[in-house]
Amino acid sequence: MKSASRLAACLPLLALAGPALAGRSCEDKPLSPLQIERGMNLAQATARQLDASGAQVLVLARAGQDLSKYGVQWSHLGFAYREQLDSKPVWRVLHKLNQCGSAKGDLYRQGLGEFFLDRPHRYAAAYVALKPELQAALLPVLRDNGRASALHEPRYSMVAYAWAQTYQQSNQWVLETLASAAAPELQGRAAAQGWLKAKGYRPSDLQLSTATRLGARVGMANVAFDDHPMARRLAGHIETITADSLFDWLPRAGLSQGLELVQQ
């Protein structure tokens, strides 16, 4: 969940004030030649594997931050999908990013290069190919600005409660949008969350001490805990959506193939 440059290809229905990040302050420091090389190499390796998968829509993750102390490997999710550009198939990534550590998030379209030119903690990626009927349902959604943003909530918290609608973090938008495509009769975020519960999705339970919660809430605009049930929150249980929990659930629910890795 780290930085990304502002793009002309961002969704025009969503206003952008400047560079966007998912969870950190904006950094003006340019990427080093080595960072650019490694990011582009990862993008090319990912493109080759996505091409070989034969899929049209996948869920793609990067390791933007080191979350290993919480038992989490992958920090940030997006939808990777095929698009035609000048009669040539290319990969686009649609995902949600937090704006410069603020309390607001927006949706972005990027190429694989931009997705990985983001100072990741590890130059690695993971993805799952969704089942064909779910790919077919998602593809027109991802290509249409209005439909893609239907369940988008701009109020952002990195640790948004999985079963509330006050805030929405990046991985939560992916999961709720996937649910609405799988069950198009659903209307609104609450209905999407109800469907996910019924299908057996369980969020990650992050163990955060009182000191950690207080420090994050005071010092970070993009962190809020007031949407979590009080008893669970006071006991240090923060239930939020992670890439790892989604990757664990999708094949169990019969919605995807197994997890694939891209490493350098």
Regarding pTM above 0.95, the answer is no
Contact 79, 144 (CB under 8 A): no
pLDDT at position 210 is 57
Tell me what the pLDDT averaged over the chain comes to. Answer: 87
Mean pLDDT of 221-246: 92
C-alpha 143/C-alpha 137 separation (Å) is: 11
Q: Which of 176, 181, 168 is nearest to 194 (CA)?
A: 176
Min mean pLDDT across 94-98, 103-107, 119-123, 156-160 is at: 119-123
Mean pLDDT of 18-35: 61
Taking 90 as the threshold, does the pLDDT of residue 128 lie above it?
A: yes
pLDDT at position 170 is 97
The residues, any chain, with a CB within 8 Å of residue 128's CB and separated by 6 or more, are 58, 59, 247, 250, 251, 256, 257, 258, 259, 260
Cα separation values, 97 from 17, 109, 125, 225, 251, Å: 13, 10, 17, 19, 26
Mean pLDDT of 108-136: 95
Domains defined for the chain, CATH in brackets = 3-263 (3.90.1720.10)
Min mean pLDDT across 107-116, 127-136, 226-235 is at: 226-235
pLDDT at position 62 is 96
pLDDT at position 27 is 61
Taking 90 as the threshold, does the pLDDT of residue 115 lie above it?
A: yes
